[in-house]
Amino acid sequence: MKKAKKPVRNSATSKLRAAIGPAPLSIVILAAGQGRRMQSDLPKVLQPLAGMPLLQHVLATARELEPAALHVVYGHGGDKVRDTFASEPVQWALQAEQRGTGHALLQAMPAVPDDHRVLVLYGDVPMLRASTLRELLATAASGQLALLTVQLTDPTGYGRVLRDARGRVRAIVEQKDATAAQRRVREANTGVMVLPAKRLRSWLTALRSDNAQREYYLTDVIAMAVKDRLAVAPLVAASETEVLGVNDKLQLAQLEAALRAELANQAMRAGATLADPARFDQRGTLVLGRDVFIDANVLFEGRVELGDGVRIGPNCVLRDMTVGAGTVIHPNCVLEKSSIGADCSVGPFARMRPAGRLEDQVHIGNFVEVKNSVVGRGSKANHLTYLGDATVGEGVNVGAGTICCNYDGANKSRTVIEDKAFIGSGSMLVAPVTVGAGATIGAGSTITKDAPPGKLTLARGRQVTIEGWQRPVKKS
């Protein structure tokens, strides 16, 4: 009997698929879990990791894959979750009743076209790399079901991946339904998989809840795919940390430490010197020049850019800052939403509030606060000074204890200090007011009118000594 030939249409279909590329991608993020073990009123996917909600990390990774559509299945704390991500271009699907992962995914499927591939992610698995997911998508490019697995030292609590003698994936069994032999398997299911949408839809509607937890397991579709003769292509994750989920505050802290270490390594690979990588905190984007030095207990939030040769002392917070080359930030400074030029000296114990700008070679010393002000090149305010709503020119010297009195209880007004002016210690500049170029303000003055350029201006009460006065004493 002659061996039957393969139908020509299969070959043609394969060639057509190769020519037009993989099917469009829909990503579905399952984020409906309550997270009882968190012991928190905040929904689990809103718990913070490196200053951002868990779900935000997952959304950021998903966007890197440039999907045709991005879906989030939400449930517990739904209003809070949706409000937090109101600006995100996602399609929301409500899982009103918690009936398992298969049931959760089914809620998003009405909005997913049959010709798409579906990548399933989880709102409490925040450290998956886009590179890993691209590899998983490539594994599923030919229409297969691709499954991300992981080898765990202790797989307790995870579903086990069951393979046959030839190493092919045959099924996944959950911990509570596994036999003693199956529980000894160390290859665990991460839950992350890529599936063809049309077949996934049929598998999900066929799920049954006759298991230990009376839930509709998404993992059961693996056995269904095998039964339908669809190859299951496994990809083993490179590390445990990348695929770990978060169920309680202990696991959240463990991931925080892991992410902190990873970001510290990235900073050092970029050329930064860290005094102690274990005491480095990055909660956002950090752009580094060459030969940057960062001391212990420095916290970066938002987007921070550090120029070449910047040095940051211990115990500083930088939030949405730009720092120019050669600038030194001394210990214990809090700097936010401002910019600092090149070759400046800031601190110790200095504060920059939003909309501050220091030009090059500016010195801002201990207990100096700058808010919504521009300080010109080469100017100095070395101690105990408040520059609020001020425009300070070049080469200005601001003495200790100077205050720009910018607020009258209803309105903010601006103080202008022109080039090379000298402000004596203990001066009050009551805005709106201008100190002219080269002017000198005598120490202890309260300036309420414009001070002319190049002249000495004083505004002091007459000093009086009271003869015969005696300090009061306590009665015995």
Would you please indicate which residues are annotated as catalytic (active-site) residues?
383
For the record, the structure tokens of 267 come out as: 């900073």
For residues 122 and 45, give the distance between their C-alpha atoms in angstroms, rounded to a whole number. Answer: 9
Q: Are residues 274 and 292 in contact, defined by beta-carbon separation less than 8 angstroms?
A: no
Which of 316, 320, 382 is CA-nearest to residue 370? 382
Which H helix or E strand runs over 267?
Answer: helix 249-269
Please give the Cα distance from 370 to 4 (Å, whole number). Answer: 83
Contact 368, 383 (CB under 8 A): yes
Q: How many CB atoms lie within 10 A of CB 455?
A: 10
Measure CA of the first residue to CA of the last residue in the chain; give whole Å.
Answer: 127
Enclosing H/E stretch for 182: helix 180-183
Q: What is the DSSP string of 374-422?
A: EE-TT-EEEEEEEEESEEE-TT-EE-TT-EEE-B-SS-B--EEE-TT-E
Residue 28 DSSP one-character state = E
How long, in residues, is the chain? 476
* SS3 call for 459: coil
Name the maximum alpha-carbon separation found in the chain: 133
Strands 52-53 and 433-435 turn out to be unpaired
Helix (H, G, I), strand (E, B) or coil at 48: strand
